[in-house]
Chains A and B, each alone.
Chain A
Amino acid sequence: MKNSGALKVTAQSDREIVMTRVFDAPRNLVFDAYTKPELLKRWLGVFGGWSMPVCEVDLRVGGKYRWVWRNTDGREMGVRGVYREVVRPERLVNTEKFDDPWYPGESLITATFVEQGGKTTLTAIMRYESTEARDAVINSPMESGVAKSYDKLAELLASGESQRNERT
């Protein structure tokens, strides 16, 4: 059975983004997929021509990681950071800084993995140095040509409506 839990993304405080997602797998596997290069390379940012030829991980407190993505069109994108906390398989805290930053400064990512009934809830809190940085982060160079806002507007309005009056 394939579980695709709904991904929840919210803006929290003035410089954080919070994501939560449930995975149909025990947390040791999710933690592995988050920290083992051979697994990371298979899911993180690898779409639309992007692959991840460099994926180095030194998984210990103070250890560094270095990831580089390459696109078939020649573009490259690299990121590096340091692991601040490594509590396998429940908690991972690391810094993140892109080589060619599209948001200013460094961010701090806190991921927690909570298992219940064989499923794992991942909560990732991304903390940026400023509100501007947080707001800029959305414009990942990977995700180009995003608009679609008006579809979403309709959807949001519809959900607001159904929440308030069950019928109209």
Chain B
Amino acid sequence: MQPSGYGRRNPDRLDATFAALADPTRRAILARLATGEASVMELAAPFDMSQPAISKHLKVLERAGLVSRGRDAQRRPRRLEPRPLAEATGWLEAYRRLWEGNFARLDAVLEELKAAKKPGRSKR
């Protein structure tokens, strides 16, 4: 019963990932980058925000390893690094799914208990 996978990754990075994802603007930036790389100016365009403000968000994302810089020295495009995000979502998702299954079965048990309490219903 060897645990495999997500438990072995770096917990510090996981924390940085969650912290970076805690902000809606940063999630929107990631969503934009998921469609392809973009310059800071392009990223700032849809937001009611200055480029320095966007740059600040980008720095947080870069530190968390979620975003990297492309080669073009002029545009300095940012691109999505999907790996840490996948690790973070996978990490919680496995746990969530395990408990979702437990609770779905618990729902069924509760339905039965409720039915058994109602008068006029036969309990089994």
Which residues of A line the B interface, CB within 8 A?
A: 2-4, 7, 9-11, 14, 17, 19, 21, 23-25, 29-30, 32-33, 39, 42-47, 75, 77, 100, 102, 131-132, 135-144, 146-150, 152-154, 156-161, 163-165, 168
Cβ A7 vs Cβ B27 within 8 A: no
> Within the assembled complex, what's the spacing in Å between the Cα atoms of A100 and B98?
19
Residue of B whose beta carbon sits closest to that of A77: B1
Cβ A152 vs Cβ B86 within 8 A: yes
Write the nearest CB–CB distance from A20 to chain B, whole angstroms. Answer: 11
Cβ B109 vs Cβ A9 within 8 A: no
Report if A7-B103 is in contact (Cβ < 8 Å); known contacts: A25-B114, A160-B30. Answer: yes
Cβ A9 vs Cβ B31 within 8 A: no
Residue of B whose beta carbon sits closest to that of A48: B101
Chain B neighbourhood of A156, CB < 8 A: 21, 27, 85, 89
Chain A neighbourhood of B103, CB < 8 A: 4, 7, 21, 23, 43
Residue of A whose beta carbon sits closest to that of B28: A164
Cβ A131 vs Cβ B89 within 8 A: no
Tell me if B36 counts as interface (CB < 8 A to partner A): no
> Within the assembled complex, what's the spacing in Å between the Cα atoms of A132 and B8?
9
Chain A neighbourhood of B21, CB < 8 A: 156
Cβ A43 vs Cβ B105 within 8 A: yes
Tell me if B92 counts as interface (CB < 8 A to partner A): yes
Report if A140-B95 is in contact (Cβ < 8 Å); known contacts: A153-B86, A161-B28, A161-B31. Answer: yes
Report if A147-B28 is in contact (Cβ < 8 Å); known contacts: A3-B107, A42-B109. Answer: no
Told that A29-B114, A161-B27 touch, could you supply 8 new A-B pairs with CB distance under 8 A? A17-B95, A24-B111, A25-B110, A44-B102, A47-B105, A77-B1, A148-B93, A157-B30
Cβ B82 vs Cβ A153 within 8 A: yes
> Within the assembled complex, what's the spacing in Å between the Cα atoms of A75 and B2?
12
Chain A neighbourhood of B6, CB < 8 A: 135, 138-139, 146
Chain B neighbourhood of A3, CB < 8 A: 107
The 5 closest A-B pairs by CB, nearest first: A160-B27, A164-B28, A149-B90, A161-B31, A149-B86
Chain B neighbourhood of A141, CB < 8 A: 1, 3
> Within the assembled complex, what's the spacing in Å between the Cα atoms of A97 and B25?
40
Chain B neighbourhood of A148, CB < 8 A: 90, 93
Write the nearest CB–CB distance from B51 to chain A, whole angstroms. Answer: 17
